[in-house]
Amino acid sequence: MSSDHKNIVLLIADDLGKYLGCYGCKSLSTPNLDKLAASGTKFDMAFASTASCSGSRSTIYSGLHTHENGQYGLNMIRTHFQTWPHIATLPKLFNHAGYQTGIIGKIHVGTDDVYPWQVREESGTRDTPWVADRCEAFIEQAKAYDRPFHLTVGFIDPHRDTSTRGEFGNHVEQYGHRLKLPDVKPEDVEIPPWISDLPETRQEFVEYYQAISRVDTGVGLILEALDKHGMTDNTLVIFLSDNGPPFINSKTCMYDAGVQLPLMVRKPKAKRGVSNPNFVSFIDLLPTMLDWAGLDTAIRLPNSNSPPRIGHSILPMLENEDVLDGSEWQDHVFGSHTFHELHNYWPTRFMRTQRYKYHRNVAWRLDFPFAGDLYASLSFEAMRNQPKPVMIGNRSMQDYIFRPPEELYDLENDPQELHNMASKEEYQQILLDMRDKLSKWQKETRDLWLYRDGQSVIMLSRYANDGLKVPDRLDFDVEEPGTKGVPKTDLLTPGRSFSINDPPS
């Protein structure tokens, strides 16, 4: 294979969070991932747009938030949540550029024609050496045809085993000699502050650690295959997790435990062992991969009306070990979540800066929903049966289920996002500023969940030319429903026609 080819391997763990040795977990051995971090750049402030599997993967593959690409929730037959046909996705773009594209393992986005990987080996196996073997076969094929390649690897681990309540696929005998699970004791695991330290939690973390070790083994074997075939010096390697750990108060939550995630990038001939402290959003990853391939990061396919991507390539700041200011690099990120499973409707948006985190909870009058696997877990059953007041880590069960329309956290003093400052007088200017910036971002990305007076501003814009004025309040006020004398929002866009049947480009 030509040394001029710019290859890419994208490695995605499922529900990993930051549970790795290189991210400070002292009780877990992850030598291969630690080695990857030491040979490239490890990002400390990388954020998924959403804390749900399908949605997060769709943002990585499209460079668009879920409300821009249509993958509102899990890609399951009975939900019909799927990426819109007009979206320019990673495999479409790299196919167009002449790459051999492939995905091995978990896919979990749809439909096939929207994500047309040329090699598509979907599998639910946790046999990561087998996954590595299939990756090597893919590399050999690209080498034989002398084509640059883009390979995505979707590990099933360390997701829960969905057929059991507390296991993680560890009790399988046919994995083979290349896969050895560590002997982990309940007293050895590190329980994070966002979950309660109970015997059931510790037992599940034992299983979780073993599942993480499978990911580590698979990554090591894939990197060995690249080296064996002489691809290390012309292949960009990216490793990340789609969302936080599969425990209550993390996965499906937009708190940092659910969205602040590992991201490691190994660029050939770049500086090694860098810890980069700058903000990265997962919508930056597709522009980054396009940039590495020498393609226009804003490339649009012929006859495509896919929305413009607003993410940026991280290659120019990859080796930086200093916090860059807003004029050099973004100093904030946004996030968007609407569904997990079909019945888990709870639209929320967030903005995160170095010090502050703002959540806009659109449907705050609804109870915060449980993902099925988290509700059924042994750890949650143990937590809910604690003496009152029932706690989930340091957050009360009441605060977990019942959330206000807005949350504002001073992360410097409250990194666990426990003390909501939205109603505090001294934080009002910060609240208003972040609310305004989030609203402008929602308007820019045509988010149907940009609400004023309890209504979608985007949907109502079609009436702006006819004199509609919408009160500038987040929710409908049933006690004071009138509009006379009430300030009106400037978020409507007069002169812009809108049809619910038009693609949201």
Token pair for 202: 């510790």
Q: Tokens 């090597």 label which residue?
A: 136
Q: 241 has which bridge partners?
A: 13
* Contact assessment for residue 184 and residue 213, using Cβ atoms and an 8 Å cutoff: no
Q: How far apart are CA 239 and CA 14, in angstroms?
A: 11
* Contact assessment for residue 420 and residue 277, using Cβ atoms and an 8 Å cutoff: no
CA distance readout (Å), 345 to 14, 72, 109, 339, 452: 22, 10, 19, 5, 19
Q: Which helix (H) or strand (E) holds 224?
A: helix 199-228
- 287: closest CA among 61, 50, 7? 61
Q: Is 22 a catalytic residue?
A: no
Q: How far apart are CA 297 and CA 313, in angstroms?
A: 7
Q: How far apart are CA 497 and CA 462, in angstroms?
A: 5
For 22, half-sphere exposure in the C-beta direction (CA atoms, 13 angstrom radius) is 26
Question: Under DSSP, is residue 356 helix (H, G, I), strand (E, B) or coil?
Answer: strand
- Contact partners, residue 203, CB within 8 Å, separation at least 6: 166, 186, 378
Q: How far apart are CA 333 and CA 339, in angstroms?
A: 20
Pairing of strands 260-266, 41-47: antiparallel
- 498: closest CA among 460, 466, 450, 454? 460
Other Cβ atoms closer than 10 A to 303: 6
Handedness of CA 274, 275, 279, 285 (dihedral sign): positive
Q: How far apart are CA 463 and CA 393, in angstroms?
A: 47
- Contact partners, residue 452, CB within 8 Å, separation at least 6: 470, 471, 472, 473, 474, 489, 491
Please tell me which residue in 25, 53, 135, 253 is annotated as part of the active site: 53
Question: Under DSSP, is residue 292 helix (H, G, I), strand (E, B) or coil?
Answer: helix
Q: How far apart are CA 389 and CA 164, in angstroms?
A: 28
Q: How far apart are CA 253 and CA 436, in angstroms?
A: 22
* Contact assessment for residue 87 and residue 306, using Cβ atoms and an 8 Å cutoff: yes
For 253, half-sphere exposure in the C-beta direction (CA atoms, 13 angstrom radius) is 27
Q: How far apart are CA 282 and CA 167, in angstroms?
A: 29
What is the 3-class SS of 2-57, one letter each residue? CCCCCEEEEEEECCCCCCCHHHCCCCCCCHHHHHHHHCCEEEEEEECCCCCHHHHH
- Point out the residues that are catalytic: 53
